[in-house]
Amino acid sequence: MLERPGLKRKLDSDLRRLSTEQLLPGAPDLDRMSSLEIVLLINREDASVASVVERALPQIARAIDVVVDGLRHGGRLIYVGAGTSGRLGALDASEVPPTFNVSPRTVQYIMAGGPRALGASTEASEDDTSLAVSEMKKRKPGKRDVVLGIATSGRTPFTIAAVEYAGRRGARTIALTCNRNSPLERTADFAIVTEVGPEVLAGSSRMKAGTAHKMVLNMISTGSMCRLGYVYGNLMVSVWTKNEKLIQRAVRIVEQATGADHETAARALKASGNRTPVAVVMLAAGVSRSKATAALKKSRGHVRNAITLARRV
């Protein structure tokens, strides 16, 4: 069912007071500015986003720790959002498997309006709390899972309902918003708040708010995969090898990770079955494909730990 009228009026009233809904001083003449003036203004505002995110780094690091603990025990990271927020969650979830070669199950997204909303406007669905609960029920959230609700305002009914349900089922929950003391923050176990303030285009959360949240999601997913060992040094050693470009990238990664020459790296990658982590362990530890594979299995895919294990055999 859609949000109750009384509560919706209250949320609309709350929306008026949010910093992200205010008018930005210096921007009321946006429609009369030259192209250069517009981009200078947008760039000036965008330059403030990194410092805003910096203030939230302790909470972002806490989120990484929570996600790592969940994934290590077989859980999932599930993003939830509507509109721009949902699309950003979907983007990050979609990028994780090809970057780190993990199962699509590992990082998922729930989008108000479903996959169709990724390319079409279904904004009314953000008020549908029953749909939110129904979609979250399908995921069967539990104590090993982490559910991260994304909402610039922090008051999107769909996102709040999904996070609330997941929390009741034992999942650990995190809010990502741009406004403090929001209903979403109060619903979650803790919050990451990036207070970007008014947008150049008033209320358009795809701008500074979206940039801030993309930065945060990059940190959470990349940081978690680093901690889990799907990265060696700063190399994407778990990258997919699905086409010729990626195979050549994998050869280069094996070279950089092990110090091998191009021919040796290429032979190792081929011998590994085009599995970059296996090739890296084979060369770094000086072991066979079977021993490298066994070490990776024992280390749960943690490449550096697998190298150490393989050397002990």
Catalytic residues: 95, 126
Q: Which residues contact 155 (CB under 8 A, 6 or more apart)?
A: 11, 14, 15, 18, 182, 183, 184
What would the two tokens of residue 117 be? 């909303």
3-state secondary structure of 110: strand
Q: What are phi and psi of 280, to 5 degrees?
A: -65, -45
- How does DSSP classify residue 4? P
Distance set, CA 199 to CA 4, 35, 243, 275 (Å): 29, 17, 41, 45
How remote is the C-alpha of 87 from its chain's centroid? Answer: 11
d(CA 42, CA 201): 9
Q: Which residues contact 167 (CB under 8 A, 6 or more apart)?
A: 147, 173, 187, 188, 189
